[in-house]
Amino acid sequence: MNSTSERNKGALVNYFEEFKGLLTKNIREYGMFIALFVIMITFSILTDGTFLSPRNITNLINSTGYIAVLTIGMTLILIIRHIDLSVGYVAGFLGAVVAILMTSMKLPVLPSIIIILLIGVLIGLFYGFLVGKVGMPAFVVSLAGMLVFRGALMLATQKTGTIIIPNASFNAIGNGFIPDIDLIPGYHSVTLLIGAIGIIFYILAELRNRKNKEKYNFEVISMPMFISKLIFVSLLIGYLIWMLARYNGLSWTVVIVIVVTAVYHFITTKTVLGRHIYAVGGNPEAAKLSGINVTKITYIVFASMSMLSALAGILYTSRLQSATTTAGVGFELDAIAAAYVGGVSTSGGVGKVTGSIIGALVMASLTSGMNLMGIDISWQYIIRGTILVVAVLFDILTRRKKG
Amino acid sequence: MTTYESDYILEMRNITKEFPGVKALDNVNFKVKRGEIHCLVGENGAGKSTLMKVLSGVYPYGEYSGDIVLNGEVQKFKGIADSEKAGIAIIYQELALVPEMTVFENIFLGHEIKKGFTVDWNETIVQSKKLLDKVRLDIPPTTKVKNLGVGRQQLVEIAKAFSKDVKLLILDEPTAALNEDDSANLLDLLKELKKEGITSIMISHKLKEVISIADTVTVLRDGQTICSLDASKGEISEPILIKNMVGREINDIYPKREKKEFGEVVLEVKNWSAYSNELGRYLLKDVNFKVRKGEVVALAGLMGAGRTEFATSIFGNPRGYKLSGELIVKGEVKNFKHTSDAIKSGIAYVSEDRKKEGLILIQDIKNNITIGNIKSLSNNGVINENEEVNVANKYKEDLTIKAPNIEQLLNNLSGGNQQKVSVAKWLFTQPDILILDEPTRGIDVGAKYEIYSIMNKLIEEGLSIIMISSELPEVLGMSDRIYVMADGKITGELNAKDATQDIIMEMAL
């Protein structure tokens, strides 16, 4: 009897020891989860629960859409040790162009979107040419791009001012929700279903991954810790889904972000291209000597960035149901900050797409929470700037300790 | 007149400096007489540069043991600033001038002449002119440094040293990058300065120069002082210097290779030259070279002889030299556009600097091993992870890479194990010709033996190896045939059994 309780106590001590060990070892990966958690709890206390209301969670996630998409592209750019400062105005300009295509030129929605994405790719290829082939610093190229596309946006909207988009299906991208079947009253049933499937997929993937690791004798976390992790993440997904389902369900924006995240997560973790991108970021000299075409990778990563800028432009324009002269202001800073907060290293080579999405959520939660509390916009800028510095400081300190 | 000043301006007593796992300096004694030109010679890695770094405070007091006595006083330098204050000036091989600035700005950079709060440029120019006269450099002080040749830049460096009231001038291979005229000019200057009472220490590989200029020569080998030779007693000659430099016996740290049959020529270059636009000179000139199947060919020579440049020039030329001549791989004339072309043709290059250009230290063993040929493990661009793990595990076992598992980051491995990962990475590209550039630099004896054993195994499997090495015992112990390089040219070709360290050294100098 006595020995059992002591054994239990021992197991508990071990459990916490392991938790502490994991936390210190993976502080960079877990840091942003902790930050997200702390921010959410703090704001829900400060706003008497309004922050975590279904309505606010829905708004928060939907308004993060275009930044999340940009952050994914920016993550790859930062991994290969470059930067793109022009993404905001590229998004703004292409948002205006899509509006013009649909209003003045009367093109249907789908062709307009495809054209815009292609223009995005072309812009990126040109950046890739200047950066990768000619050897200009990305900072200069994209700073010039920022000016050029700001001017282009002003030209595009000069005659008409704000361009109102009357097309309902286009506007649904930024404002609509996926359809529902009426199964459970008071909830968005399809959303619940998708959430449940998502959680099951997550658990199955983790189990398979663990089994593989055990097969090859890799380090795995202990079973209790593994189960805790599964429960924690499942609860997190479940909670968000439940919140969304209590309001209008999943929005099209969220669906798009999930798809883009999934595609980029797959590319970065499972493909040759992804491996080459991390190699170029980790040590460009070694990558070159390993037969990797660094220039080609630069083309691809910049093309992907500008294509995602185009997508962000579509999401933003659709959300506002119009193209405005000021669209895109400051997006690049939000995207860069979100990527750094999400664990991308300032010296390149390190970063995850999923981490950056969490980073984007952290930044969006901050904005949303501060808005709810009625904090003056000037203070919001100062606080967000501080958070960015703290995140990068954190990155530098944890790296210094290791190497 | 009695004076307490000793004959020696500098005495370094029992200096020992250890790095993790290596004793770089082991009880070194080094004495320099007032007003002499003292040369310091030794093979690559003998400890010359480390000794000078101790002297100049790069390795501060406390990081070494022993005493530095300058003018009879024990010195405890905390950094370069302290040694400069004491009158020690070091001029490194890589010049530390700002190319876009003028000569006078460079000379007084960091200790500008001031008038109140502003820099007194007129006085700076006047003083610079005086210093330039002292080093016999007849140029206007307003010239931009980038418009000067290397020889003149070197003189500007020396003028800069004199701007700080130098008592002891140290030159680290000052003539390595100079042509003959500039070298002769520099050596003349040192002799002139000696007449004015300046003491200089010169590190040099060029023994002819050493003999022509030195009053005393100290030889270092494997971190120890071997001898100090006096010119006035006629102790200095080339054979004596070489004997003392290489001196050690080859013991059997080189595993025997059974197979000694060579097949057809797998790689050959004819009249191969490489011109660097950046440096504005030829790095390789009319090199003729071949390697046969099952053969280890060594490329011996001093640092900067053009060996690494040769290796990269036939490996897809990633540094973009202008090439001429013919490269024939397995009977076909090749013109590689990119490193990947060379890899496809069966050439692999394990680079000299594994940290800078060989490995991705922030990634794990698995990713590093497979990166050169990851395409072979993929279907439509998607990596087959199980297959990848199997491959990585196989190489980890074959090359006895010591790590708990293949998910260990390279940062956490020892130099020897990092080197094995580097070799594994290139073996996975399935090469026929493996170029190893300084394969055992910075790794301990045990790991060296393992690397040698791996080389022998590969030869038995039918590979050909080109080994670039600055360690002569390694060259003699491991190769079948030896090419010696100097100044971008092949200066000799030897069968390993006919070669001795002295012969190679003579050809390399």
Question: What pLDDT, in 10s, does the model give residues A277-332?
Answer: 999 999 999 999 999 999 999 999 999 999 999 999 999 999 999 999 888 888 99
Contact A66, A80 (CB under 8 A): no
Query: Does residue B387 belong to the interface with chain A, where contact is any CB pair within 8 Å?
Result: no
Q: Which residues of A touch B411 (CB under 8 A)?
A: 402-403
B374 touching A (Cβ < 8 Å): yes
pLDDT tens per residue across span B381-396: 999 988 999 999 999 9
Residue B89: φ, ψ to 5°: -125, 130
Mean pLDDT of the region B331-359: 91
Percent of chain B beyond pLDDT 90?
Answer: 47
Tell if the CB–CB gap between B385 and A216 is shorter than 8 Å.
no
Please report the pLDDT score of residue B44 as a whole number: 66
Chain B residues with beta carbon closer than 8 angstroms to that of A279? 360, 363, 367, 371
| Residue B60 DSSP one-character state | -
Nearest to B383 among A270, A282, A291 (CB): A270
On whether any CB of chain B is under 8 Å from the CB of A352, the answer is no
Q: Is B50 on the interface with A (CB under 8 A)?
A: no
* pLDDT recorded at residue B412: 80
Least confident range from A237-251, B252-266, B384-398: namely: B252-266
Mean pLDDT in chain B? 88
Which among A212, A272, A286 is the nearest to B360, CB-wise?
Answer: A286
Which of B361, B370, B407 has its CB closest to that of A218? B407
Tell me: pLDDT of B298 over 90: yes
pLDDT number for residue B444: 65
Show the CA angle centred on residue B124, arms to residues B122 and B129, nearest 5°.
100
In this structure, the strands spanning B489-495 and B481-486 are antiparallel
Nearest CA in chain B to A277: B371
Nearest to B351 among A216, A278, A289 (CB): A289
CB B217 within 8 A of CB B229: yes
* B407–A283 C-beta distance less than 8 A: no
Confidence class of residue B2 from pLDDT cuts 50, 70 and 90? very low
Q: What's residue A403's pLDDT? A: 38
In this complex, how many residue pairs, one in chain A and one in chain B, have their CB atoms less than 8 Å apart? 90
Burial (CB < 10 A; 0-12, 13-18, 19+), residue A378, is exposed
Q: With H, G, I as helix, E, B as strand and everything else as coil, classify residue B266.
A: strand
| pLDDT confidence bin for B259, thresholds 50/70/90 | low
DSSP A115: H
Instruction: Dump pLDDT digits (tens) for B409-419.
Output: 898 887 788 99
Q: Which of A228-237, A257-266, B77-86 tops mean pLDDT? A: A257-266
Lowest mean pLDDT among A179-188, A216-225, A382-391, B24-33: A216-225
A47-71 tens-digit pLDDT: 988 898 888 888 888 888 999 999 9
Mean pLDDT of B155-168: 88
Closest listed residue to residue A68, CA positions, set A335, A336, A385, A394: A335
For the cut 50, the answer to whether the pLDDT of residue B1 exceeds it is: no
Nearest-angstrom CA–CA distance, B103 and B147:
10
Q: Which residue of B has its CA nearest to A273?
A: B381
Residue B250, pLDDT score: 42
| C-beta atoms of A350 and B318 within 8 A | no
B338 reaches A (C-beta below 8 A): yes
A282:B357 CB<8 A: no
Domains and CATH numbers, chain B: 1-87+167-247 (3.40.50.300), 94-165 (no CATH), 295-318+335-508 (3.40.50.300)
Whether residue B356 lies within 8 A of chain A, CB to CB, comes out as yes
Per-residue confidence band for B49, with pLDDT thresholds at 50, 70 and 90: confident
Cross-chain residue pair B318–A282, CB shorter than 8 Å:
no
Q: What pLDDT band is residue B36 in, cutting at 50, 70 and 90?
A: very high
pLDDT value at B255 more than 70? yes
Contact B360 A287 (CB under 8 A): yes
Q: What backbone phi and psi angles, to 5 degrees, belong to A155?
A: -60, -45
- Rounded to the nearest 5 percent, the helix, strand and coil shares of chain A are 80, 0, 20
Question: For residue range B214-254, what is the model confidence (pLDDT) as tens digits?
Answer: 999 999 988 889 999 998 888 888 888 878 887 754 456 78
Greatest Cα pair distance, chain A, in angstroms, is 84
Q: Which residue in the set B358, B362, B405 is minimally distant from A217, CB to CB?
A: B405
Contact A286 B407 (CB under 8 A): no
Partner residue facing B343 (CB), from A218, A287, A291: A291
Give mean pLDDT, residues B305-325. Answer: 91
Residue contact A293–B359, C-beta within 8 A: no
More confident residue, A357 or A33: A357
Chain A residues within 8 A of B429 when measuring between CB atoms: 291
pLDDT of residue A398: 74
Query: Measured between beta carbons, which residues in chain A are less than 8 angstroms from residue B372?
Result: 290-291
When CB atoms are compared, the residue of B339, B349, B405 closest to A218 is B405
Tell me the whole-structure pTM to 2 decimals.
0.79
* pLDDT(B43) > 80: no
**pLDDT of amino acid B402:** 84
User: What angle, 0 to 180 degrees and rounded to 10, lies between the N-to-C axes of helices B121-134 and B150-162?
Assistant: 110
Q: Which two tokens stand for residue B394?
A: 């196989």
Instruction: Indicate whether B276 pLDDT > 60.
Output: yes
CA distance A21 to A12: 14
SS3 state at A316? helix
Higher pLDDT residue, A117 or A218?
Answer: A117
| The predicted structure's pLDDT at residue B107 | 92
Distance from CA of B382 to the nearest CA of A (A): 4
CA-CA distance, B157 to B150, in Å (whole number)? 10
- Considering chain A, what is the average pLDDT of its residues? 90
A185 lies within 8 A of chain B by CB: no
Q: B357 CB near a chain A CB, below 8 Å?
A: yes
Element (H, E) at A192: helix A189-215
Chain B hits for A275, CB-CB cut-off 8 Å, are: 367, 370-371, 374, 383
User: Residue B3: pLDDT above 80?
Assistant: no
